[in-house]
């Protein structure tokens, strides 16, 4: 028989502490859609996506109602378009972004990921066309998300692409300046990108994946924070233990939702992504957890250590709760999407440099970072290169989602709305890295021993 206390605890987590399943993401392979005529290709992918995902939103809503746990997003990831569109005889993939956007709207998902290219070692023709199409594609579609994987531990860092992405980000910002450069919020630059990430904007359906899969991303910073309130004054071993237990409970809910969704949609279950994904809602913040652990403000000395422990404990607890864990799996620290991070930046406690240090110990990188619109292209490339280096050397995924908002400067505020939140503009180091970035070429893959 179920314990009454357990029932009340579960419902308190959902009602008071924002426990939810952040996303059910259906991965769909588009490898059988290729065609030299781009219009036929667009038709193929539209038909395949809308056919496979036709019941996704309804099933998600049914599960949500039956179990009484909110499922915030239903999303779709597809095979990187640079690969499947490569045989199209065209010099722009913007039309394909339109087709993805239409498909997303037709089935009712709020984002579709996979307008992506994988170029850690170099470009193919399709990769170049895709990257060139990103600014216009993001400006002229609503729900399409783009990503570029430009570095890996086995290949090194494609510095030509690092340089190019600085320009692409600035162009995307310029084309969407009427919306505070919103286009950049839909563009992620990766090192060591994973193939089964259910979270946007960086989701794509990797080439090693099955025809279709269901991947689920859990959430629950609010639940962890609440659980830690009971342990004030206790040592860090106790804190780690509580985080583990809480992560177990959160992940179980994700596992349940994933299994049900997989069964009802007749799509194989892929993975649970054990990420603590915050939202701008008060009480659903990773920064507040760090502060609960004992920091006056997120960003204070000790932040990296506390975050490392949090991230590790979440994984240990989550792994016990699900047989298949994958994706990014770690605490997210998107600035604009986390009320505590926003507050920390506003009070001057959290800088870009500290955020960079934090990304060494958690997923996934410099996320939703708003910087002045006049930040030089090479500086943006430099930030990408630094973050890629952290990923490559530490054999982990890192990413950059940076938003240089035209016309905004340090101290201004930018409002994206919804889950993307709002953010103050962060200060960027004023010294130049232009000569370094302009060298181009490739940073070789790192040695995997003598790792000090």
Kindly list the residues in this chain that would bind other proteins in the complex (CB under 8 A): 1-4, 6-11, 62, 65-69, 248-249, 252-253, 255-256, 320
Min dist. Cβ of residue 247 to other proteins (A): 12
**Closer to other proteins by Cβ: residue 181 or 243:** 243
Q: Between the CA of residue 24 and those of 121, 143, 199, 310, what are the distances in Å?
A: 32, 16, 9, 24
Min dist. Cβ of residue 66 to other proteins (A): 5
Instruction: Please give the Cα distance from 420 to 9 (Å, whole number).
Output: 29
**Closer to other proteins by Cβ: residue 61 or 438:** 61
Asked if omega into 387 is within 30° of 0 (cis), the reply is: no
What single DSSP character describes residue 329?
A: -
Min dist. Cβ of residue 201 to other proteins (A): 29
Pairing mode, strands 156-158 and 442-443: antiparallel
Q: What interhelical angle do 236-265 and 56-67 show, nearest 10? A: 130
Min dist. Cβ of residue 4 to other proteins (A): 5
Min dist. Cβ of residue 71 to other proteins (A): 12
**Closer to other proteins by Cβ: residue 98 or 248:** 248
- Total Cβ atoms within 10 A of residue 430: 8
Instruction: Please give the Cα distance from 238 to 410 (Å, whole number).
Output: 40
Judged by DSSP in three states, 141 sits in: coil
**Closer to other proteins by Cβ: residue 317 or 327:** 317
**Closer to other proteins by Cβ: residue 253 or 335:** 253
Instruction: Please give the Cα distance from 425 to 372 (Å, whole number).
Output: 6
Tokens of 45: 């992918």
Of 329, 328, 323, 394, give the one whose Cα is nearest residue 357. Answer: 394
**Closer to other proteins by Cβ: residue 3 or 435:** 3
**Closer to other proteins by Cβ: residue 68 or 407:** 68
Instruction: Please give the Cα distance from 251 to 77 (Å, whole number).
Output: 21
Min dist. Cβ of residue 273 to other proteins (A): 18
Min dist. Cβ of residue 67 to other proteins (A): 4
């Amino acid at each position: 028989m179920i314990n009454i206390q357990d029932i009340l605890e579960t419902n308190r987590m959902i009602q008071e502490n924002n426990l939810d399943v952040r996303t059910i993401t259906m991965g769909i392979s588009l490898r059988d859609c290729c065609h030299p005529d781009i219009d036929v290709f667009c038709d193929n992918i539209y038909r395949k996506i809308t056919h496979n995902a036709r019941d996704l939103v309804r099933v998600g809503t049914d599960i949500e109602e039956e179990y009484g746990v909110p499922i915030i997003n239903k999303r779709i990831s597809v095979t990187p378009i640079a690969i499947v569109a490569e045989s199209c005889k065209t010099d722009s993939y913007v039309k394909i972004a339109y087709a993805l956007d239409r498909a997303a709207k037709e089935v009712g998902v709020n984002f579709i990921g996979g307008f992506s290219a994988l170029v850690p070692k170099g470009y193919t023709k399709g990769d170049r066309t895709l990257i060139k199409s990103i600014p216009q594609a993001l400006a002229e579609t609503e729900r399409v998300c783009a990503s570029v994987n430009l570095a890996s531990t086995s290949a090194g860092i494609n510095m030509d692409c690092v340089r190019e992405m600085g320009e692409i980000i600035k162009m995307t910002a310029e084309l969407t300046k009427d919306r505070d450069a919103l286009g950049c919020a839909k563009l992620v630059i990766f090192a060591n990108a994973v193939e089964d990430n259910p979270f946007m904007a960086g989701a794509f359906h990797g080439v090693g994946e099955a025809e279709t899969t269901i991947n689920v991303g859990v959430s629950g910073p609010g639940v962890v924070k609440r659980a830690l309130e009971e342990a004030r004054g206790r040592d860090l071993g106790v804190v780690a233990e509580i985080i583990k237990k809480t992560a177990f409970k959160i992940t179980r809910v994700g596992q349940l939702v994933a299994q049900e969704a997989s069964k009802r949609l007749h799509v194989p279950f892929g993975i649970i992504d054990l990420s603590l994904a915050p939202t701008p809602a008060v009480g659903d913040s990773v920064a507040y957890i760090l502060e609960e652990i004992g920091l006056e403000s997120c960003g204070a000395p000790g932040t990296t250590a506390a975050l490392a422990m949090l991230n590790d404990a979440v994984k240990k607890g989550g792994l016990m709760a699900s047989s298949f864990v994958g994706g990014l799996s770690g605490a997210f620290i998107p600035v604009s999407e986390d009320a505590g991070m926003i507050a920390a930046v506003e009070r001057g406690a959290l800088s870009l440099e500290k955020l960079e240090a934090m990304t060494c110990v958690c997923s996934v990188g410099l996320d939703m970072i708003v910087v002045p619109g006049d930040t030089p292209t090479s500086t943006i490339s430099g930030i990408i290169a630094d973050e890629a280096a952290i990923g490559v050397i530490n054999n982990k995924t890192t990413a950059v989602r940076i938003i240089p908002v035209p016309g905004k400067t340090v101290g201004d505020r930018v409002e994206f709305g919804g889950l993307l939140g709002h953010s103050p503009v962060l200060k960027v180091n004023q010294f130049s890295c232009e000569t370094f970035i302009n060298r181009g070429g490739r940073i070789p893959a790192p040695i995997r021993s003598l790792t000090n």
